[in-house]
Amino acid sequence: MEDPTSSGSHLQARFVTKQQQYAVPEFPFSVPANVGASELSALINKLLNEEKAEEDVEQLDFDFLIDGELLRVSVSNHMEEKGISSETVVEIEYFQKHPAPTPEGSLLHDDWISCVQGCNDRIVTGCYDNSVRLWNVKGDNLMTLSYHSDPVKCVSWIKKDGPTSLLVSGSHDQSLIIWEVNEEKKTCQALHSCRGHARSVDSVAVNKSGTKICSGSFDSMLKIWSAVPGTTEDVSERTEDQHRKKIKADKNLPLTRTPLMTLDGHREAVSSVLWYNDNEVCSASWDHTIQFWDVETGVQKSTLTGTKVFLSIALSECNGMIASGNADRHIRIWDPRSSEGAVVKSSLSHHNGWVTAVDWSRVNSNQLISGSYDQTFKLWDIRSSKAPLYNMSGLGDKVLAVNWNIPELLLFGGADNCLHIFHSSEIISR
């Protein structure tokens, strides 16, 4: 038997795909052991186009999986690394390669962009100039929301119902504001000022039903708030607010809202929060932990412990796993449901600075994006930990925020004062 790693040696491979429009015969082919993804892609194209006239030939780019991992070296090297025998027929799964994201434009702000979130055909951003801005996907600034007295650090949609939207923003001024926006009337109103944190509010998340808000702060606390306008826990403190803001008495000012619950357990700043389900929140902290909380009882349910500061977490709606961005330059993929073996399923290592923001694709269980202090923005497939699918570099400064809520748009912003928009073809989870 020839050594498959030697020059000129061959091995037997069977090609399979879930994309039936690109299926080739599944009997084994003899292929050179030293070929990589580009040569295999040429082979699949040749098999697909055997019976077509030359003018009808379409050359497609494919990616390849061997034993659940993307092929990024030669087949022989991959098999050697994975301990796969060359004496058996190796099964190679292939699928159309995700095309490179294309730049759609940049939306200039007056200061650093700290946060961004898309919803349908709208985008909301938070800025260090103390404002929240509403955009359409064409790049038109529809509205600027001003009430915070310090930089806005986090934003989230509560609901979007036709021309009317509810939003929430958190700020370095220690408050959250619940906003009502009416695009038809071109009006915006700060309905409620949520007060209770003692330091900057750096993270906010809304549950799927749009009824509750979770906030995380540099005071190490999490707080749960009602997201429903006009409920009974609102307190009228308009006179005090008017004095603080020096606004005329007839101005329509927000009612002060107090928290439904405070979750106290972190030892340092809370950097990121999310709703794991409608009754459970998850928080990441500078204290090197990710904690899960029952919002009915206020009890801490479980803890995931890391070795460095957590800066961002995101939950995949497709696979149930959590991605974390860390101060040690790594992205880690956690499976909180894991009862056996390691909770950390993989580590993605290619950034050269703090990973400040991560977010999953809403339609593909294997893909996520990240932004870093190293001034790069990356698109990943978690089946390849060695390198990202695509690396968007050349930015003017550190990346602070990313979002992939709109499947075809990659959004990221940071200290260069621009919201960058890339178009990404929608590839459904394979």
35 and 62 together in one domain: yes
Specify which residues 285 forms β-bridges with: 270
Within a domain: 5:
no
174 and 92 together in one domain: no
- Total structural domains in the chain? 2
Residue 87 pLDDT: 86
Residue 217 pLDDT: 98
77 and 145 together in one domain: no
Final residue before a domain boundary, out of 96, 129, 145: 96
CATH number of 46's domain: 3.10.20.90
29 and 153 together in one domain: no
Residue 417 belongs to what H/E stretch?
Answer: none
CB 219 within 8 A of CB 197: yes
Taking the C-alpha atoms of residue 186 and residue 181, their distance in angstroms, rounded to an integer, is 8
CATH number of 286's domain: 2.130.10.10
126 and 263 together in one domain: yes
122 and 252 together in one domain: yes
Final residue before a domain boundary, out of 40, 74, 96: 96
Residues whose CB falls within 8 Å of the CB of residue 162, separated by 6 or more in sequence, listed in order = none
Within a domain: 378:
yes
Q: What is the dihedral of CA 31, 32, 35, 39, to 10 degrees?
A: -50
Longest Cα–Cα distance of the chain, Å, equals: 90
DSSP 40-83: HHHHHHHHHTTTS-GGG-----EEEEETTEE--S-HHHHHHHHT
Residue 243 pLDDT: 45
154 and 34 together in one domain: no
Residue 269 pLDDT: 98
CA atoms within 13 A on the CB side of 392: 28
27 and 125 together in one domain: no
Within a domain: 429:
no
Residue 251 pLDDT: 55
78 and 39 together in one domain: yes
184 and 38 together in one domain: no
CB 63 within 8 A of CB 45: no
71 and 149 together in one domain: no
CB 365 within 8 A of CB 345: no
Per-residue confidence in pLDDT tens, the chain, 430 aa: 333 344 469 999 999 999 999 999 989 999 999 999 999 999 999 999 887 766 566 789 999 999 999 999 999 999 999 898 888 899 999 999 999 999 999 999 999 999 999 999 999 999 999 999 999 999 999 999 999 999 999 999 999 988 899 999 999 999 999 999 999 999 999 999 999 999 999 999 999 999 999 999 999 999 999 999 986 455 554 444 544 544 443 357 899 999 999 999 999 999 999 999 999 999 999 999 999 999 999 999 999 999 999 999 999 999 999 999 999 999 999 999 887 667 899 999 999 999 999 999 999 999 999 999 999 999 999 999 888 999 987 678 999 999 999 999 999 999 999 999 999 986 554 4
Within a domain: 149:
yes
Within a domain: 408:
yes
Range of the structural domain that residue 31 is part of: 10-96
152 and 253 together in one domain: yes
Within a domain: 276:
yes
Within a domain: 64:
yes
Final residue before a domain boundary, out of 70, 96, 122: 96
- SS3 sequence of 110-172: CCCEEEEEEECCEEEEEECCCEEEEEECCCCEEEEEECCCCCEEEEEEEEEECCEEEEEEEEC
Within a domain: 3:
no
Q: Provide the token pair at 190.
A: 């700060």
